Structure 1
Amino acid sequence: MFDCNVITIDLAKNLFQVCKTDKNGHVIYNKAITRAKLKELLIKEKQSLVAMGSCGGTHYWARFAKQAGHQVKAINARQVKAFRQGQKTDANDALAISVAARLPHIKGSRLLSAHEQCLQGIECMRDLLVKQKVSLSNQLRGLLLELGYPIAQGDTPLIHAIPEILEEAENSLTASFRFSIHLLFKRFKETIEEAKLIEKQLHEIIKEDKTCNRLQALEGVGPVCAILIKIALGNATHFKSGREAAACFGLTPVQHSSGGKEKIGAISKVIGNKKLRSALFKGALAVVSQLEKRESRSEKDVWLKALTARRGKKVAAIALANKTIRTAFAMQKHDKEYQPQLLAA
C-alpha cells in the first residue's frame, strides 16, 4: 500500500483529466480541469505521488509537480494500455495510469531538465533541417531527371548544375517551370545554411560540455551521438546497470521464452530509442568497416574482428553499439574517462 495519495494526470494541451485516489486505491475524484486549475491543484494538494503518461508536456509538468513538493512518475503509454478497462476515454486512461503507477515493477520514464530538453530540441531541429534538405534535393533531382538532366549525388553538384540548367535558353523548360525550380532551389540553399548555423551552435555547446567531450572518446561516437547519449543516460541514476540501459534503448534481442525454453530473436523495430540506436549503429558500422583495413590496437579491436568474421558486419556493429552504451553508463556513473585496453607493443 502507498502511504500517500496518488494524483494521475491524462495530459493534453488545455483540458486535463485528473484522477485522485487515496492510499488504498479508492477514487476521490476523476474530473477534467483547465491548465490554470491544474497548476492551482498541484500547489494546494499535500505531498502526493503525481503520475502521468509519457507524452508531450510530461517533462514540464513533472518539473512543476516536483517544485510543488510531489513525487513524480511518468509511465510509457504502452505500459498504461494494459491496465485500461472499458473504452478509450480520458477518465479511463487516468484510472489506468493510477493503477500502473502503484505497481513497483512498472518503471517510470527518465525525466529531463529544462537544459536537457533545450539541447534535445536543438538536435531535433538540426535533424529536421537535414531531412528537409534531402527531401528538397531529391525533388529537384527527380523533376530534372524526368526532363533529361541527370545530376550527380551530393549537394555541390546540384548547386552547380541547377543555375546552368536555368540559364540555358535553348532547352524545353517553360518559364513557369523555371520560376518554380528557382524557388525550390533557393529554399534548398537556405536550408543548407540554416542547418550549418544550428550545427555551429551544437559544436559550441559540445566544446563547453565535459560529458560530451568525454563520450566522444568512445569508438564510433561523434558530436551528435554524444549529445543523444547524454540526453538518454543523464547522470546514469535512472538505470540499475549498463545492461538495463542497453535493453531500454533497443540494443538487445527480443525474447519469447516459455516453459523453460528460451527463444532469442532479433532486436525490436518498435521499442527503444530509435534515433540513438540509429546513430550508434551508423558509427559502429563505420568502425567495423575501418577495422578491416588496419591492425588491431586494443582488446576491443581483437574482439570486434573475431565477431565480424563469425557473424558479419551488422551483428558486430550492434554488439559494439551495445558495448558503447554499457561503457558510457559506467563512465557517467563513476565520472571517469574512457581508457581502452591497448595491446602490448
Structure 2
Amino acid sequence: MCENSVDCDHHVGSDVCVCLCVRSSFRRIGLEAGPLLQWLFDGMVSVGLPAICIETRYTKAFLKAQVNKSDRSDARGISQMMPVNLYRPVHVKTLVSQKRRALLTAGKLLQEKALAIENDIRALLRNFGLKVGAVGAIKFEARVRELAEGRSDLIEIMTSLLAARSRLREEYSRLHRRVLEIVRDDMVCRRLITIAGVGPVTSLAFVSTIEVPGRFRHSRTVGPALGLTPVLNQSGESRRIRRISLCGDAMMRTLLYEAAQVMLTRTQKWSWLKAWAMNVAKRRGMRKAIVALARRLAVIMHRRWCNGSDFCWTREALPKAN
C-alpha cells in the first residue's frame, strides 16, 4: 500500500503490501488500521520508512468498488489511494499510552466478569425460590451464604462461584490501585479530575486516547472524533439528523457517557455545567441531555488540558474571553 514509481514488485500479506522499488525510494507506505498495526507501524518507523496509518472506513468505501476482494486486490487498491490523498491518516498511540489502555481494558474486563458471576448466582438461586435482593458488593457473599444455608448441594456450588468472584474483585482492586498511582503522578490527569463528574479512570482514559492535544486544532472537534455528534443525512430538500455517529474510541465514549450520567443523577454539588445540562433535559429529554453533556465534557477536558487551568464551578469564575 504505497505510493511509488512504476517498476515495483508487490509482496502482499493480509492487508499489507510491501513494495521493493527499483527506480525510486518510498514516498508513502499506507497501513490499514488493524490488530497488528502498532507492532508493524513501530517497526517501519524505527527503520526510517514513511509509514502512514489510514482510517479503515474510508479505505473500505474506496475498495468497495472492486468486483473481487482479496489481499492482493486490496493492497493494489490502497496503493492507488495513496498518491491522490484519498485517505484519512490515523494517529498511532505511543507504547506508554498502549500500556495504559491495556491496564484500563484489563480492569474493565475483570469487573465485567465479576458482575457476570454475581448475576449468574442470582439466577441460579432464583430457580430454587431464593432471591438475593438489593444488596451491595460487600454484603453480597454473606447474603448468598445465608440463602444457601442448610442446602449442602447449593453451598458447594455457591462456594466455588463466590471464590471465583472474590478473586476477580481482588485482582480488579489491584489494577485499580495501579490506575490511582498513575493518576496521582500525572499532572494532566490531576487537573482533569477537577472537572465535575470526571474520575481517575475517565481522566487516564482521556489522556491515553487523545495523547497529543495539539492534534485537534479546536476543542470542539474532539466530540466528533469520539462519535458524540449526530449524523447529518442531507439530499436535495431532505435533511435528516440521526443519532450520534458512534465512531472513534468506544471505551472513551462510554466513560464520558457514564461521567455525564453520574453528574446529572448522583452529584450533589451544583455547577454551571450541570445547570446547562438540566436545561437541555427539560427541552430534549434526559437521554439526549446526557449525550450532550458527555460531548461538552470532552470539549472542556481538552480545553483544560491545553490551557493548563482547573475547572470553574461557577460562571463568574470562568476566564473572560479576550
State the TM-score, normalizing by the size of structure 2. 0.85
- In the alignment, the residues of structure 1 paired with residue 60 and residue 13 of structure 2 have an alpha-carbon distance, to the nearest angstrom, of 22
Deviation at 1:187, TM superposition (A): 0.7
1:231 matches 2:208: yes
Do the aligned partners of residues 105 and 230 (structure 1) sit closer, same or farther apart at CA in structure 2, a change above 3 Å counting?
farther
SS in 2 for 1:70: coil
- In the alignment, the residues of structure 1 paired with residue 311 and residue 101 of structure 2 have an alpha-carbon distance, to the nearest angstrom, of 28
Name which of structure 1's ranges 143-152 and 252-261 shifts more when overlaid on structure 2: 252-261
- Who is 2:229 aligned against? 252
Write out per-residue CA displacement over residues 272-300 of structure 1, whole angstroms, 9 at most, x where no aligned residue: 32221111112112222357x66x543x3
SS in 1 for 2:214: coil
Alignment match of 1:51 (pick from 3, 23, 30): 30
SS in 1 for 2:172: helix
Letter in 1 for 2:279: A
- Who is 1:216 aligned against? 193
* Equivalent residues of 1:79, 1:100 under 8 A apart: no
Alignment match of 2:116 (pick from 115, 123, 135): 135
1:279 matches 2:279: no
Deviation at 1:315, TM superposition (A): 1.6
Letter in 2 for 1:273: D
Deviation at 1:105, TM superposition (A): 5.7
Write out per-residue CA displacement over residues 109-157 of structure 1, whole angstroms, 9 at most, x where no aligned residue: 2211000000000000001001100111111111111112211233233
Write out per-residue CA displacement over residues 188-244 of structure 1, whole angstroms, 9 at most, x where no aligned residue: 110010100000111001100111111112222111111221122112233332232
1:182 matches 2:155: no
- Who is 1:336 aligned against? 308
- In the alignment, the residues of structure 1 paired with residue 316 and residue 62 of structure 2 have an alpha-carbon distance, to the nearest angstrom, of 56
- In the alignment, the residues of structure 2 paired with residue 237 and residue 71 of structure 1 have an alpha-carbon distance, to the nearest angstrom, of 21
Write out per-residue CA displacement over residues 287-338 of structure 1, whole angstroms, 9 at most, x where no aligned residue: 22357x66x543x344333222222222222112111212222333x34123
Identity %: 21
Equivalences for residues 112-123 of structure 1 within 5 A? 112-123=93-104
- Who is 1:92 aligned against? 73
Alignment match of 2:87 (pick from 92, 106, 112): 106
* Equivalent residues of 1:285, 1:313 under 8 A apart: no
SS in 1 for 2:53: strand
* Equivalent residues of 2:260, 2:291 under 8 A apart: yes
Letter in 1 for 2:217: K
* Equivalent residues of 2:227, 2:245 under 8 A apart: yes
Deviation at 1:341, TM superposition (A): 6.7
SS in 1 for 2:131: coil
- What runs of 5+ residues in structure 1 fail to find an aligned partner? 1-7, 9-19
- Who is 1:77 aligned against? 56
* Equivalent residues of 2:121, 2:161 under 8 A apart: yes
- In the alignment, the residues of structure 2 paired with residue 88 and residue 124 of structure 1 have an alpha-carbon distance, to the nearest angstrom, of 33
Question: After the TM superposition, which parts of structure 1 deviate over 6 Å for at least 4 consecutive aligned residues?
Answer: none
* Equivalent residues of 2:110, 2:171 under 8 A apart: yes
1:321 matches 2:294: yes
- Who is 2:320 aligned against? none
- Who is 1:149 aligned against? 130
Letter in 1 for 2:53: A
- In the alignment, the residues of structure 2 paired with residue 162 and residue 194 of structure 1 have an alpha-carbon distance, to the nearest angstrom, of 21
Deviation at 1:46, TM superposition (A): 4.6
Name which of structure 1's ranges 215-224 and 134-143 shifts more when overlaid on structure 2: 215-224
Do the aligned partners of residues 248 and 319 (structure 1) sit closer, same or farther apart at CA in structure 2, a change above 3 Å counting?
same
SS in 2 for 1:263: strand
- Who is 1:31 aligned against? 11
Letter in 2 for 1:306: N
Do the aligned partners of residues 183 and 69 (structure 1) sit closer, same or farther apart at CA in structure 2, a change above 3 Å counting?
same
Letter in 2 for 1:123: L
Alignment match of 1:159 (pick from 141, 151, 154): 141
SS in 1 for 2:138: helix
> Could you say what the CA RMSD is over the residues aligned between the two structures, in angstroms?
2.8
State the TM-score, normalizing by the size of structure 1. 0.80
* Equivalent residues of 2:111, 2:172 under 8 A apart: yes
Higher relative contact order (CA 8 A, sep 6+): 2
Deviation at 1:90, TM superposition (A): 1.3
